[in-house]
Amino acid sequence: MHRSGPALRAVGLWLALCAPVLTSAQNGLPPTHAVAQDLTYNAQFPPRFPPGAAQAGHFGKVLLLVLVQADGSTGEVKVERSSGYADLDASAVSVAKHWRFIPAAKDGVPVAGWARVPVDFHANAPAAAGSSAQAGGGDQADRFEANRLLLAAVAGDDEAKQRLDHTDAAKLPALEDGKLFVLSKQQPDQRAALIERASHGDTLAQYLVGAIYETGYGVDKDPSAAVDWFRKSADAGNPVGQYKLGQLYESGWHVSKDPKQAFELYMKAARQNMAAAQHAVGRFYEHGIVVAQDYQEALSWYRKSAAAGNPNAQTSLGYLYQQGLGVPADEKAAFDWFQQAARQGQPVASFNLGLMYVKGQSVLPNRRAAIPLFEKAAEAGLAPAQYSLGLIYEQNVEVPADYAKALQWFSICLAGGDQQCSDHLETAHQHATPAQVAEGESAARDWLAHHAARAPH
């Protein structure tokens, strides 16, 4: 599937599962660790239903206590309140040991802290059919809710359809995931019913039929038909259809590339409070695309979108505050916006936040705190983050040198075409032992193979 992503940038290249419920020693937690003030997932490995659990009717919520170390890794994991089923509790505890967090900070220095983390194993979640369980709140909950609404809408639930017709940008990524989930489950008779509803003016159905032809779920791919159905949805005033058609005009996907038409469609959706469209409008004003460059106007649209929880808009706001564009430069505000976006997994924001830790901007310099942030961005394929991880492990400053990891990340970075990694890769080879070389090269091959397998075809 084609998608045109936001034109976000990484700033100053150097050389979000549930949000935990915050806890304190006064609430009965071990008193030897600092109070957690701001703990957020930095990598998500959601629990899976144990074999046979859903079929046996094992559903419930596990409340975990997770000790987050100062480097973002997970220490001790306890079950504070059981789901009532040992298999669900064990699954939640097992996977929690592999989570990484953005650690709490005291006076700008990361500290260990405890977090309460609720994990829901829902009866109606995709996990019951073998997918991942849904942890309460945040991005995972949004995805689950979008899936639920889409399934209900496709089944003819008018209330669910109305809610999706007026969805905002904070739900759009979830809507895209939910759309694919729904389309992958459609049987021929269901697809026919969906097309029938679209033919009778159901704007959500029109959008979904466009997606069927765009992705080829159960039918031959037909870009022309996809565009026609997206246009019907947009012309009928559906903000999701308007935003989607705007993306097609901006990128030129099977339509004549037309930024002016894209802007008009984004503006229509933005005026219906779709946060993704609001961000797109702000982006056009920031960069002067078919409109006069106007940072104040960009800020206004970004703020609307960010207030709805859009992580791309939060990242863009952070950049404008950091660079002093349309607003006085404010490192603290930039840090706060990047942090909000990073909590939701936005890779550019994670990278920029990591850079601020490295450079000591708004916080004390701390490379250890930067590592989990760079890792999140590197996992998303951001080459500057991969390069920065290589530098941290090569330079032996604050963090002990680890030439195997330096080799791994420089190799991954170079494989992506970033030539600045070449000289550093050679230096790491010179300092590494044969065992470290073998370890680093093996890790790089495994990473590249894994990410190649996950890439869309």
* Domain residue ranges of the chain, discontinuous segments joined by +: 21-135, 378-457
Asked if the model's pLDDT at residue 33 lies above 50, the reply is no
Query: Smallest Cα–Cα separation from 66: which of 46, 45, 95, 26?
Result: 95
Q: What is the mean predicted confidence (pLDDT) over 374-392?
A: 94
CA angle, 33 then 39 then 44, to 5°: 125
Contact by Cβ (8 Å): 386, 378: yes
What percent of the chain has a predicted confidence (pLDDT) above 70? 68
What global pTM score does this model have? 0.65
Contact by Cβ (8 Å): 254, 226: yes
- Per-residue model confidence as pLDDT tens digits over 118-142: 777 754 443 333 333 333 333 444 5
For residue 125, give the DSSP letter. S
Beta strand 134-135 with 60-68 is: unpaired
Asked if the model's pLDDT at residue 286 lies above 60, the reply is yes
Q: Of all helices (H) and strands (E), which one includes residue 365?
A: none
What is the spatial distance between Cα 339 and Cα 101, in angstroms, rounded to a whole number?
12
Residue at 439: amino acid letter:
E
The predicted pLDDT at position 23 comes to: 36
Query: Smallest Cα–Cα separation from 244: which of 219, 274, 216, 220?
Result: 274
Q: Of all helices (H) and strands (E), which one includes residue 293?
A: none
Query: Is residue 42 helix, strand or coil?
Result: strand
Name the β-bridge partners of 106. 109
The phi and psi torsions of 239 (rounded to 5 degrees) equal -65, -30
What is the spatial distance between Cα 325 and Cα 239, in angstroms, rounded to a whole number?
29
Q: Six-digit token pair at 167?
A: 């969805």
Q: Where do we find the tokens 């939910």?
A: 178
The predicted pLDDT at position 32 comes to: 33
For residue 436, give the DSSP letter. H
Q: Dihedral sign, CA of 423, 425, 429, 433?
A: positive
Q: Dihedral sign, CA of 326, 328, 330, 336?
A: negative
Q: Where do we find the tokens 């500057």?
A: 384
What is the spatial distance between Cα 103 and Cα 294, in angstroms, rounded to a whole number?
37
In this prediction, residue 322 has a pLDDT band, given cuts at 50, 70 and 90, of very high
Kindly list the distances between the CA atom of residue 344 and the CA atoms of 15, 43, 216, 374, in Å, as whole numbers in the listed order. Answer: 27, 10, 30, 14
One CATH from 3.40.190.170, 3.30.2420.10, 3.30.1540.20, 3.40.50.1370 for 21-135: 3.30.2420.10
The predicted pLDDT at position 451 comes to: 86
What is the spatial distance between Cα 297 and Cα 54, in angstroms, rounded to a whole number?
50
DSSP 405-432: HHHHHHHHHHHTT-TTHHHHHHHHHHHS
Residue 49 CA, distance from chain mean position:
23
For residue 327, give the DSSP letter. S
Asked if the model's pLDDT at residue 107 lies above 60, the reply is yes
